[in-house]
Chain A
């Protein structure tokens, strides 16, 4: 399934176009996301779509690309948020220290979680990840600096100063573009990783784990690496969320946040590169629109979700790709 064989078989032009887009998927994604603030009615919801999309991208690596359903990813999102939050609000450190520190903290936590969880699989894996994330929730809740259920306030990054450029983070459009730059870098890194031999190993394991092991792939190591990378991306999303809202809520570590990212990935399309952003946009916008009409919006969101599971299991983006790509 590469461009060369498609040419030999006389592939139709749209296929070539999609292959082109696929090989430049980061650029394509960023271009679409650039248009978002003008489509979405509300600036802070656009930033939320970006943040939760990135969170979904991180989770997708483990769920969509590796087939491991984790119910504890809120731990990585939350630890990233709290780490960045504490460094900014209480240590007064600048964003360019807080963001990498958050990624590192989340990755380390993912390593610890992964070491404990990798030996289980299926529903047991989901339960272990849930349990470990609940332990993290509990520990952070008790930790005095986190503010407990009052949350961590004061994560105030008023502006971002780069050589020659000053970005005012009180302006929603400027915030969106600044965050988009960070997200673009993260997507670029991820894309490179997926195209590397490591990415090949990931796909081989997803297709058939026993065969991959027989071929000599180190299955446990690959799973662990994917888990750590996933954790780091989710931590970055959490850190961005903390800066956007100037606030970290204890709910960011709760299993409902873990459930949220599962929904987003399913709605968008598991195992697709751009799917999580579509899922995040769909979920957040539906939630917003429905909650303006009725207080019982959860009924419609739940029904919509069931509808997708029954009829569009590949999610919106996954189905679109399938129909147009003939994957």
Chain B
């Protein structure tokens, strides 16, 4: 195999981290939504895509990357809350399948709407001038923007951790993930919690899309392939577990980029093989709680 040096492997590890960062962001959102609402959000990839397009559209109005970085998750999160209140909430109590199916149809609608508004072609998006170029990390030159993505993800995870561990709202989220019924019995307005959690989860997905745009450009279909990966990561980590989402996201990002180096045809399948292996040994995922589905 030509050209595979230890430096390259080191570089690939970092690429895997950057890849994994996006997966982590998506999986965290999915896990939050599932843990709290027991809703499997099949439109998560579409929210990712909407985040990318929202960034593109916002940038035309407010040509400041940093401002858009903050605004995009808010805009997407608000849209997510609207979806939760009008579409997902009415299905409460009908079983796990119905919200899943609803979000499945919602994805089609969102993708086609974006096609109508922005065209089918897809567009290139550039990283801000400050982040172009590469930095010299020990193993070689690595694109600055990808380091930035890793950085933002770490910052967000720290923020999320603080929110969930240190605030009273976070306490409710943790309790709700553990046992939704008790939380309701305790008299807490679960509806409001759901609304905010759904908004938070989708907002993070939108942020992931915005961050991914300069790397791969934007297209209406960009959410499709990334959704499958997001699900694999969430399931491997354990639905409802944020630690699991982080660990699994990094693991799968690194495995995929290593596979691309050594066995490119099998890169896409590698994550599925891992998922099957993990679920054979631990059917609830690495950090999931057994019985969460019952």
Stretch with Cβ within 8 A of B (4 or more), from A25-33, A89-97, A220-228, A301-309:
A301-309
Interface of chain B, helix or strand or loop or mixed?
helix
B231 engages A127 (CB within 8 Å): yes
Min C-beta distance of B70 to chain A, whole Å: 31
Contacts of B113 in A (CB 8 A): 299
Contact A134 B293 (CB under 8 A): no
Contacting pair B269 A138 (CB below 8 A): yes
A305 and B116 form a contact (CB under 8 A):
no
Partner of B87, one of A69, A120, A135, A306: A306
B106 / chain A contacts, CB cutoff of 8 Å? 302, 306
Quick check: is A142 within 8 A (CB to CB) of the other chain?
yes
Contact with B along A267-308 (1 / 0, CB 8 A): 000000000000000000000000000001011011111100
**B115 in contact with A123 (CB, 8 Å):** no
Task: Write the B91-104 contact mask toward A (1 if CB under 8 angstroms, else 0).
Answer: 10010111011101
Tell me if B53 counts as interface (CB < 8 A to partner A): no
**Interface pick from B12-20, B153-161, B195-203, B272-280:** B272-280
* Alpha-carbon distance A150/B272, docked complex (angstroms): 24
**B interface footprint on A120-146 (CB within 8 Å = 1, 0 otherwise):** 111110011011101100100010000
The answer to whether residues A303 and B232 also contact, given A116-B280, A120-B283 and a CB cut-off of 8 A, is no
| CB < 8 Å neighbour of A306 from B105, B272, B280, B283 | B105
Are B98 and A313 in touch, CB under 8 angstroms?
A: yes
Closest B residue to A71 using CB positions: B231
- Taking CB atoms, residues of chain B closer than 8 Å to A299 are 108-109, 112-113, 116
Q: How far is the CB of A250 from chain B (nearest CB, A)?
A: 13
Cα distance A135–B273 in the bound complex, in angstroms: 8
Partner pick for A131 among B98, B107, B276, CB 8 A cutoff: B276
A303/B101 in contact, CB under 8 A: no
Across-interface contacts of B91 in A (CB, < 8 A): 309-310
Would B235 and A123 count as touching, CB distance under 8 A? Answer: yes
Using Cβ atoms and an 8 Å threshold, which residues of chain A touch B90? 310
Q: A306 vs B107: C-alpha distance in the bound complex, in angstroms?
A: 10
- Interface positions of A from 244 to 265, Cβ below 8 Å from B: 255, 259, 262-263
Q: Which B residues are CB-close (under 8 A) to A74? A: none
Contact B265 A298 (CB under 8 A): no
Contacting pair B105 A305 (CB below 8 A): yes
Q: Give the number of A-B contacts (CB < 8 Å).
A: 105
B106 to chain A, nearest CB (A): 6
Q: Is B167 an interface residue (CB 8 A)?
A: no
Are the CB atoms of A302 and B107 closer together than 8 Å? yes
Of A127, A302, A304, the contact of B275 (CB 8 Å cutoff): A127
Provide the bound-state CA to CA distance between A303 and B276, in Å.
33
Question: Is B239 in the interface zone, CB < 8 Å from A?
Answer: yes
Nearest CB in chain A to that of B236: its residue = A127
| Interface residue? B134 (CB, 8 A) | no
A130: B residues at CB distance < 8 A: 228, 231, 272
| Residue in B closest to A255 when the chains form the complex, CB atoms | B228
Bound form: Cα–Cα A132–B5 in Å: 33
Known: A299-B109, A302-B112. A309 touches B101 (CB 8 A): yes
Q: Which residues of B contact A122 (CB under 8 A)?
A: 96, 293
Which residues on A sit within 8 Å (CB–CB) of B268? 134, 138
A4 interface contact, C-beta 8 A? no
Across the interface, which residues of B come within 8 angstroms of A263, CB to CB? Answer: 104-105
Q: Give the chain B neighbours of A298 by CB distance below 8 A.
A: 108, 111-112
A81 located at the interface, meaning its Cβ lies under 8 Å from any Cβ of chain B in the complex: no
Question: Of all chain B residues, which has the CB nearest A121?
Answer: B293
Give the shortest distance, in Å, between B160 (CB) and chain A (any CB): 22
Q: Tell me if B145 is interfacial: C-beta within 8 Å of chain A.
A: no
Distance A302 CA – B279 CA, assembled complex (angstroms): 32
How far is A302 from B100 in the complex, measured between Cα atoms in Å? 13
CA A302 – CA B115 in complex, angstroms? 14
Taking CB atoms, residues of chain A closer than 8 Å to B239 are 123-124
Q: Are B228 and A309 in contact (CB under 8 A)?
A: no
List chain B residues, Cβ under 8 A from A259: 104
A138 touches B266 (CB 8 A): yes
- Interchain Cβ contacts under 8 Å between A and B, 13 examples: A69-B97, A123-B40, A127-B232, A127-B275, A128-B275, A128-B279, A131-B232, A131-B272, A138-B265, A259-B104, A296-B116, A298-B108, A299-B108
Q: Which of B's residues lie within 8 Å of A, judged by CB?
A: 34, 40, 87, 90-91, 94, 96-98, 100-102, 104-109, 111-113, 115-116, 228, 231-232, 235, 239, 265-266, 268-269, 272-273, 275-276, 279-280, 283-285, 293
Sample of 18 more A-B contacts, CB < 8 Å, known A123-B293, A306-B109, A313-B94: A116-B280, A119-B283, A120-B283, A122-B96, A123-B34, A123-B100, A123-B235, A124-B235, A124-B279, A128-B275, A131-B275, A259-B104, A262-B101, A299-B108, A302-B105, A305-B105, A310-B87, A310-B91
Task: Give the 4 A-B residue pairs with the shortest CB-CB distance, closest first.
Answer: A302-B108, A122-B293, A305-B105, A299-B112
